[in-house]
């Protein structure tokens, strides 16, 4: 009697558990199938080397269905491949892929793709990808990165949006100055700085003057030289070049990090920006030592316009 009761209990438990086992097995097989549809980085590399078009098509497909950690890995690998290839058309194609990822607005890949899209803007014909940004124009609110990318890639319809943002900012300043009886212009927050920076890029003389004024008034030397100089790449006009040339010829240095090593010349940071802005820049590299600075100064002295 006890034996039959035990068998009955076992069978009941089996019937209770069996559906859950089937469900878990189905999910596991589905996950295995999904994982199997994605290529490893090694396999993608081989495919891309053998057939670039087919390889990029597979990359795009994998990015559509991969979790964010895998997407970061694929995107990083793509950018590394770009550094090795140094191929304009390949860079155009991966820029489109990065833009598609950027438009997802996921925190894990947003700033990553933003930095690369901005970097690639100096390496490709921007008009080939500017239309990819058009979905951004349909947004109600813009983050600073949106404004910079649309301005750098000269997206059709963006200038109107930028002008509206600029007018709002000017009206806000007038109100503040009126309330404070003409007080000195306050420092610009990140959003305000971005609006003036992009207006300067489009040749707005007031915005150019304001950016260079705030560069000198609102930041100490270390922040100005090591961080804010980089923003001037986005302006790219003669006023900026002349401003940076004053620092190129300066002998000022950053504070020493080690007692036996001199601080970096301000000039080396100015040179980094000038190397991007000036197509005829004499040295093609990212960082400049003191011997480079001597040579660069000589070149500018000999090629004064």
Whether residue 1 is contained in a domain is answered as no
Whether residue 99 has pLDDT greater than 90: yes
Proportion of the chain above pLDDT 70, given as a percent: 86
Whether residue 40 has pLDDT greater than 50: yes
Q: Are residues 123 and 43 in the same domain?
A: yes
What pLDDT score does 295 carry?
Answer: 97
d(C-alpha 58, C-alpha 45), whole Å: 11
Alpha helices in the chain (DSSP H): 2-36, 41-50, 52-65, 68-85, 88-102, 107-120, 134-137, 144-152, 158-179, 190-201, 205-217, 221-226, 238-248, 266-277, 290-302
Q: How confident is the model at residue 32 (pLDDT cuts 50, 70, 90)?
A: very low
Whether residue 168 has pLDDT greater than 90: yes
| C-alpha of 300 from chain center | 30
User: Which of helix, strand or coil describes residue 253?
Assistant: strand
Q: Are residues 213 and 304 in the same domain?
A: no
What pLDDT score does 184 carry?
Answer: 64
Question: What's the mean pLDDT in 138-158?
Answer: 94
Q: Are residues 114 and 61 in the same domain?
A: yes
d(C-alpha 283, C-alpha 285), whole Å: 6
Whether residue 17 is contained in a domain is answered as no
pLDDT digits (tens, 9 = 90+) for 46-77: 878 888 888 899 889 989 989 999 999 999 99
Q: How confident is the model at residue 33 (pLDDT cuts 50, 70, 90)?
A: very low
- Top pLDDT among 4 and 262 is at 262
d(C-alpha 249, C-alpha 244), whole Å: 9
Whether residue 8 is contained in a domain is answered as no
pLDDT digits (tens, 9 = 90+) for 233-283: 999 889 999 999 999 999 999 998 888 888 999 999 999 999 999 989 999
Whether residue 12 is contained in a domain is answered as no
What pLDDT score does 213 carry?
Answer: 95
What pLDDT score does 210 carry?
Answer: 94
Whether residue 26 is contained in a domain is answered as no
Q: Are residues 206 and 235 in the same domain?
A: no
Which residue among 87, 105, 138 closes a domain? 138
Domain membership of residue 106 as a residue range:
35-138
CA distance from start to end of the chain: 108
What pLDDT score does 28 carry?
Answer: 36
What pLDDT score does 186 carry?
Answer: 75
What pLDDT score does 10 carry?
Answer: 46
Average pLDDT, the chain: 86
CB atoms within 10 A of CB 265: 21
Task: Provide the CB-side half-sphere exposure for 254 (13 A, CA).
Answer: 17
Query: Cα-atom radius of gyration of the chain, to the nearest Å?
Result: 28
Which of 275, 221, 207, 224 is closest to 245 using CA atoms? Answer: 275
Q: Are residues 54 and 98 in the same domain?
A: yes
Q: How confident is the model at residue 21 (pLDDT cuts 50, 70, 90)?
A: very low
pLDDT digits (tens, 9 = 90+) for 120-135: 999 999 999 999 999 9
pTM over 0.85: no
């Amino acid at each position: 009697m006890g034996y039959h009761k035990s068998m009955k209990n076992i069978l009941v438990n089996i019937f209770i558990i069996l559906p859950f086992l089937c469900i878990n097995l189905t999910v596991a097989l589905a996950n295995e199938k999904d994982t199997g549809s994605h290529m490893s980085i090694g396999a993608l590399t081989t495919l891309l080397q053998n057939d670039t078009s087919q390889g990029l098509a597979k990359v795009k497909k994998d990015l559509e269905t991969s979790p964010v950690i895998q997407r970061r890995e694929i995107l990083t690998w793509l950018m590394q491949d770009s550094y090795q290839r140094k191929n304009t058309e390949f860079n155009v194609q991966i820029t489109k892929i990065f833009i598609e990822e950027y438009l997802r607005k996921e925190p894990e890949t947003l700033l990553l793709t933003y930095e690369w899209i901005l970097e690639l803007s100096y390496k490709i014909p921007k008009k080939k990808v500017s239309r990819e940004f058009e979905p951004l124009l349909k947004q109600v609110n813009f983050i600073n990165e949106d404004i910079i990318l649309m301005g750098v890639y000269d997206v059709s319809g963006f200038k109107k949006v930028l002008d509206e943002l600029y007018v709002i900012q000017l009206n806000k300043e007038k109100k503040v100055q009126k309330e404070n009886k003409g007080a000195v212009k306050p420092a610009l927050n990140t959003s305000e700085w971005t609006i003036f920076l992009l207006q300067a890029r489009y040749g707005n003389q007031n915005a150019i003057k304001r950016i260079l004024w705030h560069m000198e008034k609102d930041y100490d030397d270390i922040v100005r030289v090591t961080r804010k100089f980089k923003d001037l790449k986005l302006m790219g006009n003669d006023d900026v070049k002349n401003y940076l040339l004053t620092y190129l010829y300066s002998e000022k240095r950053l504070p020493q990090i080690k007692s036996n090593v001199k601080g970096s010349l301000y000039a080396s940071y100015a040179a980094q920006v000038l190397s991007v802005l000036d197509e005829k820049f004499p040295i093609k590299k990212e960082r400049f030592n003191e011997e480079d600075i001597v040579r660069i100064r000589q070149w500018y002295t000999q090629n004064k316009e």
